[in-house]
Copies of this chain bind each other. A is one copy, B any other.
Amino acid sequence: MQSISGGVCAAKGYTTNGVLCRIKPTRSTPDLALIVSETPANAAAIYTQNLVQGAPITVTKSHLQNGKAQAVIVNSGNANTCNADGIAVAQRMCELVQEHVGIAGGDVIVASTGVIGQPLPVQKIEAGMAELVAGMGRENDKAAAAIMTTDTFPKQSAVEFTLPCGTLCRVGGMAKGSGMIHINMATMLAFITTDLAISSEMLQQTLKECAEGTLNMVTVDGDTSTNDMCCVLANGMAGNAEITGEGAALDAFRAALMTVLTELSRMLARDGEGATKLLICQVSGANTVQDCRLAAKAVVASSLVKAAMFGGDANWGRELCALGYSGADLDVTKIGVRFSSAAGDITVCENGTGVPFCEDVAAKILAEEEITIHIAAGNSEHAATAYGCDLTYDYVKINGDYRT
């Protein structure tokens, strides 16, 4: 497997573009994106678990009931959620794809991200469609920019891998954050494309499996958004025999999808609103993988841990505290805590009790932009990794007046 460029256009048979419609009047970068597959594709998606779900989620769920899709239309600047005309607007966005590209509206995935509860001015999208469609090509950079809200950089990843049968395949994707991101998925938008031939059922199953260890392990602020989804299109243009069950071919795809989703998850966490540091928590040795996941997520989700990391303060009691309320089944008298970064490695707690350490060395380690918090929770073979970021003044600033 190797990293390649191209994002959602890395795989065969996909084109994309992004244009500026000014859905939010002050916007100066693209805010509408379209991804089109040359041929019909099998499709799968996972969605937010929030009871309040945006109209695009409702429409996409309906369109994906048959496991097929051929295009994705997505806007930023307005979430089209909690609006009386929300469903009609989301459906209209799909119809616009039908009118301009000739793909049936029922084969279109629709997504929106931005402010909740303000009507989406769909006429702005109507006005932008001609330019959007005219420019379709390998414009993955424009598309990745178009889905950004408070993101500070676009998030793309792609890999190439070879199936056991010798066929070369690609998986690529793009994602956006960066607030309202929390565990249990659907906490961001992520669009993945592949030219692999795979059944909708196996695609759904593999997406779910891979997201549990990646997108579902990202937390920025504990808020699970109303709108977010990760979808995958698989158009089969790589030419392999369709994957319909477990085996070496599925394993190869799973590894590729894990790589892309892990990469996007790291970018989402690093670009958390106001973040200056990527925090990674690796928990090993708890009784079950679920305990490891609960523990890892609680640590990177703790406001106190996040603020301490912003300040570069090795206040490990906060990790212990978070582990204690995580809901994970842990023997707190056995916990070890270690911090590492490019600047080194330091153990600060063993068997649930502090050990003497050099504050200067700890400060240097915690001054880096990527910090890993290692939690040793026992002797089992289970492990999990969660991704988060520090809590900074800028998070408060960004969210204190988001709408203006």
| Residue A101 lies at the interface, judged by CB distance under 8 Å to chain B | no
- A contact face: mostly helix, strand, loop, or mixed: loop
| Residue A213 lies at the interface, judged by CB distance under 8 Å to chain B | no
Pairwise interchain contact A117-B304, C-beta atoms closer than 8 A: no
Pairwise interchain contact B332-A52, C-beta atoms closer than 8 A: yes
Pairwise interchain contact A303-B117, C-beta atoms closer than 8 A: no
The size class of the interface chain A forms with chain B is 35 or more
**Number of identical monomers bound together in the oligomeric complex:** 2
| Residue A81 lies at the interface, judged by CB distance under 8 Å to chain B | yes
Known: A308-B402, A330-B51, A332-B51. A325 touches B223 (CB 8 A): yes
Quick one: closest B residue to A187, CB to CB? B325
Q: Which of A3-11, A249-257, A316-324, A378-386 contacts B (4 or more CB under 8 A)?
A: A316-324
| Residue A315 lies at the interface, judged by CB distance under 8 Å to chain B | yes
| Residue A310 lies at the interface, judged by CB distance under 8 Å to chain B | yes
Pairwise interchain contact A82-B320, C-beta atoms closer than 8 A: yes
A393–B313 Cα gap in the complex (Å)?
17
Pairwise interchain contact B49-A325, C-beta atoms closer than 8 A: yes
A116–B223 Cα gap in the complex (Å)?
28
| Residue A84 lies at the interface, judged by CB distance under 8 Å to chain B | yes
Q: Which are the 8 A-B pairs with shortest beta-carbon distances?
A: A116-B317, A311-B400, A52-B324, A307-B399, A50-B324, A117-B354, A51-B324, A311-B401
A residues with a Cβ closer than 8 A to B are: 49-53, 79, 81-84, 115-118, 179-180, 182, 221-226, 301-304, 307-308, 310-313, 315-318, 320-325, 330, 332, 349, 352-354, 391-393, 395-404
